[in-house]
Amino acid sequence: MSIAELQAYGYVGALGILVLISYAYIYHLYTKRKDADGHDYEEYGNLALKDDITDTPISAVSKK
């Protein structure tokens, strides 16, 4: 086994590990959308697009 074959196996192994970590992170993002306080921050994604004065606010604010 030459050093080139060893590097190729290491590259494929590292690539596989990185792919698994990426899929696990994406799964985590889509299953845990809310934080500990119950806020869903995915609603804030359209904040820059829906910034007209007549648009409804994302979260209601009381006047108390």
DSSP 8-57: HHHHHHHHHHHHHHHHHHHHHHHH--B-TT--BGGGGGGTTTS--TTSPP
Note the pLDDT of residue 36: 67
% of the chain with per-residue pLDDT over 70: 91
Across the range 29-33, mean pLDDT stands at: 77
- Tell me: pLDDT of 40 over 90: no
